[in-house]
Structure 1
């Protein structure tokens, strides 16, 4: 298995929040890409790296960022010689390729023909998350069906369905549909799906197929990986497993909450074990 961390976003909302923050230490973070923001003393992305290298088998890790932040990621990666950092070639938010295109760039650039873990670089999970348990669950699914894929989901509040992709599953936990930001009456499900996916090697060609179908679509239809996942569930078996919750660091409030949670629970977290 290999891993890709998607880190090519420009964090425009958070940038504005940091610039307008009252605290100097927050203003000083202006210009820091979201995956490198300090969370309880560690760059956010470092939690993922420590978790990924803590498994029994070595794993190739690829990080895709942009031209603006490539130097910062390469400086950080000097501590992790097994991590490969590449740029998507863009320098502004208006030029961005979108997350799915970035994923395909990695697949092609490194000729990936293996199961692939895809991680949103601005996402962390609550203390119940055990990476190795999720990997083992995927491997069981894969042995039963080598086209099977696995994603995570967690219970959100009624008024939060409009913020997320909501998965609808059957009794076997196979996803039958994903509704993008539905209103509460549009679905009985309250299971939100964060950007953390385990894809079978047989699913990877679907990324290019999806992009070919969407080649003339606006960037918003290709940017969020949830759009690809929604397309995928009608073509490949995708299963869901539950976690307690996640942090999606998109603005100053979510950054504060994530930082506080990790400060209070650092000894319990499985990322560093």
Structure 2
């Protein structure tokens, strides 16, 4: 896959869709990589030039020394689009990717056409949760990532979906087991420190918020908070857990496309 050289390493990316179409950037969740969007790309690429990338610390992108910040991850997106001579784009991010989207909406809104914030929150979980996970992963290394993989299935997917569709679940949770422990921990710190609760009113681009009614990580209440704070934001819910793009599948794809194509 192609890469863009940042000041401290290479960012891995992939582009699909027709040259000259409006650009849609897809941003992965914590512990996954650009392949988490595989189910959406064929439909999205029928209307957009789809740019997806491995967030720093994930997949084939650089693993620089942590901790990271969401500002750093957001500036990576701007550096990537600058390097590809993309001035304006729509952005869709899930969980950690949604935090990156919030930062972009607040700090680089002039670059955005539309913003989709999926299964995310203005503040995700407590410092204690993230500090405990960082400590576990840095001490346990690759084995800790494999152990985390098993515990994560219940957070990412409903039990019914996990049992019925292992063909959908296994490839995604397999990404977590392969994620660099150092990169994962550095991104956990970025998520821990991100808090946009007092700043969301600065988002002025058309925004869609996607929630899972059975998401215990970033709940519909978190989504409704963002909707209240972001002027004119729309909200859609699916009866799924945290990785709504995987579990809701075509319904997710259709809802996001409907919003982006308005």
Common topology (TM > 0.5): no
Which one has more relative contact order, counting CA pairs under 8 Å at least 6 apart?
A: 1
Which structure has more helix as a fraction of its residues? Answer: 2
Q: Name the TM tier (shorter chain).
A: 0.3 to 0.5
